[in-house]
Amino acid sequence: MPQTLPEPLPPIVLAFAASDPTGGAGIQADIMTLSSMGCHPLSVITAITVQDTSGVEDVLPIDADWIADQARALLEDIPVAAFKLGMLGSVEAIAAIAEIISDYPGIPLIFDPVLASGRGDQFANEDMVDAMLELLLPQTTIITPNSLEARRLALEDESERDEPDLPECARRLIIAGCEFVLITGTHENTEQVVNTLYGERGMVRSDKWQRLAGSYHGSGCTLASAIAANLAHGLDIVEAVKDAQDYTWQALAAGFRPGMGQYLPDRFFWAREIAEDQGD
């Protein structure tokens, strides 16, 4: 028999996220982004949604024991280079996931705190927000809230009169235990989209991006997964964040509108460019 050499493994990323049947956001977005960026995605489904490109109709959280069993089976078999968290579905799921990842303290954790869809569908109640802050933030390498999520996570109590500004939100999230905070600015009333990375000593870098005209579904999942892919490839956090934004902007710029609602990113824009160059 001819001898075959063992194949080197691609970096493997374990994503915990909910199914979005449109393929715009959720675990489908994670799988496409991680694959497009040369990683192998492992996927643990945390919830099932009913939605189209115009909105979410229903969410079915998966039982926390089922989430834990999916993850434990994978982790006992396959070496993982990064964890990525998206929509988690319930307090029980957050607690189960927090316990599992606490067994792997050396593996980077990229946490996209999905509190609502870009269109405003609510995905997390106050108990879930509290569980995220208490159980997940202390284990997080980088959290990637949009500005609305950052304000909601950082609000100390409902009675706080003035909303904290974004640098203050980042400071509070770092005090809660994560290493880096990337706040995205799509929802802010600015001409360009400003995304800012904060660390323990304040702002690390800020990037401005041309605001695209359409309304997009799944940009946050794409960005967080792209950061996870880059960290799994061994990039440092600053390079990972910079390159992931560039990748996400290109995926959005190449986006398409398959239905009557939002545009979806094309996470394989480069494959389409190659096919066009070859005259396919």
149 scored as a contact of ligand PXL (CB under 6 A): no
Among 13, 31, 42, 56, binds ligand PXL (CB under 6 A): 56
Query: Closer to ligand PXL at the Cβ: 204 or 212?
Result: 212
49 scored as a contact of ligand PXL (CB under 6 A): yes
Site string for ligand PXL, 79-118 (x = CB under 6 A): -------xx--------------------------x--xx
- State which residue has the least CB distance to ligand PXL: 26
Among 15, 25, 39, 115, binds ligand PXL (CB under 6 A): 25
Q: How far is the CB of 91 from ligand PXL (least distance, A)?
A: 17
What is the number of other CB atoms lying within 10 angstroms of the CB of residue 248? 27
Alpha-carbon span 189 to 67, nearest angstrom: 38
26 scored as a contact of ligand PXL (CB under 6 A): yes
Q: How far is the CB of 177 from ligand PXL (least distance, A)?
A: 23
169 scored as a contact of ligand PXL (CB under 6 A): no
Q: How far is the CB of 251 from ligand PXL (least distance, A)?
A: 14
Among 11, 41, 220, 255, binds ligand PXL (CB under 6 A): 220
Query: Closer to ligand PXL at the Cβ: 142 or 174?
Result: 142
What is the number of other CB atoms lying within 10 angstroms of the CB of residue 212? 15
Q: How far is the CB of 22 from ligand PXL (least distance, A)?
A: 8
Q: How far is the CB of 216 from ligand PXL (least distance, A)?
A: 10
Q: How far is the CB of 256 from ligand PXL (least distance, A)?
A: 17
Query: Closer to ligand PXL at the Cβ: 196 or 262?
Result: 262
List the one residue out of 222, 220, 243, 217 whose CA is nearest residue 231.
243
CB burial string 12-41: b at 16+ within 10 A, e below:
bbbbbbbbbebbbbbbbbbbbbbbbbebbb
Q: How far is the CB of 178 from ligand PXL (least distance, A)?
A: 19
Among 64, 221, 227, 237, binds ligand PXL (CB under 6 A): 221
Pair 215, 263: CB distance under 8 Å:
yes
β-pair type (202-209, 193-199): antiparallel
- In the complex, the residues that contact ligand PXL under the rule CB under 6 A are 17-18, 20, 25-26, 49, 51, 56, 86-87, 114, 117-118, 218, 220-221
